[in-house]
Amino acid sequence: MSEVARTVRAGGRGARRALRAAPDFEMLPALKRGIPECEVMDQGRVEQIDNASMSILEEIGVIFRDEIAIADWKRAGAKVDGDRVYLDRGLVRELISTIPSGWTYRARNQERSLPFGGKHSIFVPMTGAPFIRDLDDVRRWPTIADLNMFHKLSHMSPALHSTAHHIVEPMDMKVSHRHLHITYSSMKHSDKTFMGMTTSGKNAEDVMAMCEILFGADVMEETPVTTGNCNGNSPLVWDETMLSAMRAFVKRKQPVLCSPFVLGGANTPASVAPAVAQLNAEALSALAYTQVIRKGAPAIYGHYLSTVSMKSGAPMAGTPEISLMNFMIGQMARYYNVPWRTSNNLGGAKTFDAQAGYESAMTMNAVLHAGANYIWHSAGWNEAGMHCSTAKFVVDAEMCQMGYRMAEGPRWDDFDEAMQAVRDVGPGGHYLGHPHTLENFERAFFMPKLFDNNSIEQWQAEGSVEITQRALDRAKQLLADYEEPKLDEGVNEALLDYIARREREIPAVDELNTEH
């Protein structure tokens, strides 16, 4: 824990002063939600979804397009027909019962390690953008320098508790070597938690090897140091690429996100509750498989979720059904007592405009009220994930600070003190000069830096600077203030040696990686 965090946790007036004096890019302590989860289903409805999902697993089955998984499932006692696996509900319940409900998510800087699961929520920046809108708001292919930049910005954002991995795709790196450079960038530019690439089984093995260099295999056996995402092919298919990456992680007790990839109405029924029933069956099938791979390994109930435009087929963000499905998925994950992941601050807009703002805030509220534990895509996502916007990144990061405050719930520690202020001020007075106000104002009410709340006259006098420019100016300032949390020299050398060796071993491929 940092000096500031320690002081604040200790409480009192000194603590408040310390918080005010802290640099404004200090990471916030792990978020513990104080608001209740939005539960839109009663127990009967939860059981209805559970029963429908279990019937899907028993009667329709799930395709595992992967010989090793099929062999594993046969050994585990599932009914297998070709690549289709029929899972009895008893077996599923038995398997998922050994998934831990929470753990410590270890960061390079142990003071930045995080409690995972339960009432805790973690904001992670967006991942996987094939384009960037850069510091000049120009849309183009990203490079490794751009990825470094986003890792630095993540490091400097108080409510982002992770630097993720490939926030943008570094297109100047060979596809077959890219995962090595992405992982190194995450490890080097921040000492917060990060994610591991799962683009293939062999790539995942490389990530594990690099984590062993950074943390040591003994630490990894004890507690997770990264996470990996495995997307399903909805409806009801898991493929070899994802399953082999899953095995690399799970064997070493590193949690994977079992993430059905839902385009509501295209690869699910056109209805909210039945779509959740299918998604739930898919997630359960992969969660169960993690325990076949290694009993007791941590795992995360995942999903990526959008509804699609019936006209263009494009994924939409911020729609009401996405909110409802998040509420319901949260209930299902809690029913199974497994931590869960969702997505945040999504936008389908082409520029950083009002649409992007509405869509993002709709999503953020949905996932916080849903009680999500691991909140992906929390900064930068626009154009349905096609680009990461640098301007939106820093505004989203500030929105995460606001979401954090909201989700904490109200404070009560100065209630009596403040009621004395009401007596002091009396009817018709004002509070601006009262000692309680001066002592508490900044802590009491969040003041966004990137939202302009001046009068229009003042705003015009200052040059009518639009939010995109304000945000890009802020990004440049953060990068100027950035200080690298240096890796241990020996570790750094070992990581670079490993990368160099693997670059010699892995054939350079410019096109999409096809190795598994």
Kindly report the backbone phi and psi dihedral angles of residue 160, in degrees, each rounded to the nearest multiple of 5, phi listed first.
Answer: -85, 120
Q: Which is nearer to a copy of itself, 12 or 34 (CB)?
A: 34
Instruction: State the burial class of residue 265 (Cβ atoms within 10 Å of its Cβ: 0-12, 13-18, 19+).
Output: middle
Q: Which is nearer to a copy of itself, 199 or 389 (CB)?
A: 389
Strands 102-105 and 79-81: unpaired
Q: Which is nearer to a copy of itself, 430 or 486 (CB)?
A: 430
Q: Which is nearer to a copy of itself, 125 or 347 (CB)?
A: 347
Q: What is the DSSP string of 219-266?
A: HHHHS----EEEEEBTTTEEEHHHHHHHHHHHHTT--EEEEEEEEETT
Pinpoint the alpha helices (H) of 371-512: 390-408, 415-425, 435-444, 456-461, 467-481, 489-505
- Minimal distance in Å, beta carbon 329 to a copy of itself? 12
Q: Which is nearer to a copy of itself, 310 or 507 (CB)?
A: 310
- Minimal distance in Å, beta carbon 340 to a copy of itself? 18
Q: Which is nearer to a copy of itself, 303 or 436 (CB)?
A: 436
Residue 374 in tokens: 């691991």
* Contact partners, residue 11, CB within 8 Å, separation at least 6: 413
- Minimal distance in Å, beta carbon 127 to a copy of itself? 20
List own/partner pairs for 336-339 with CB under 8 A and 24 or more apart. Answer: 336/96, 336/99, 336/284, 336/287, 336/301, 337/99, 337/101, 338/96, 338/99, 338/101, 338/287, 338/299, 338/300, 338/301, 339/101, 339/102, 339/116, 339/117, 339/118, 339/300, 339/301, 339/373, 339/374
- Minimal distance in Å, beta carbon 231 to a copy of itself? 14
Strand spans (E) along 101-183: 102-105, 114-117, 120-123, 131-133, 139-140
Q: Which is nearer to a copy of itself, 69 or 214 (CB)?
A: 69
- Minimal distance in Å, beta carbon 62 to a copy of itself? 6
- Minimal distance in Å, beta carbon 308 to a copy of itself? 8
- Minimal distance in Å, beta carbon 424 to a copy of itself? 10
Kindly report the backbone phi and psi dihedral angles of residue 224, in degrees, each rounded to the nearest multiple of 5, phi listed first.
Answer: -65, 140
- Cα separation, 32 vs 118, in Å, equals 9
Residue with tokens 């070597």: 177
Distance of CA 471 to the CA centre of its chain: 22
Q: Which is nearer to a copy of itself, 175 or 273 (CB)?
A: 273
- Cα separation, 359 vs 385, in Å, equals 13
SS3 state at 271: coil
Residue 28 in tokens: 């916030």
Q: Which is nearer to a copy of itself, 419 or 508 (CB)?
A: 419
Q: Which is nearer to a copy of itself, 26 or 39 (CB)?
A: 39
Which helix (H) or strand (E) element contains residue 450?
Answer: none
| Bond from prior residue into 435 cis (ω within 30 degrees of 0) | no
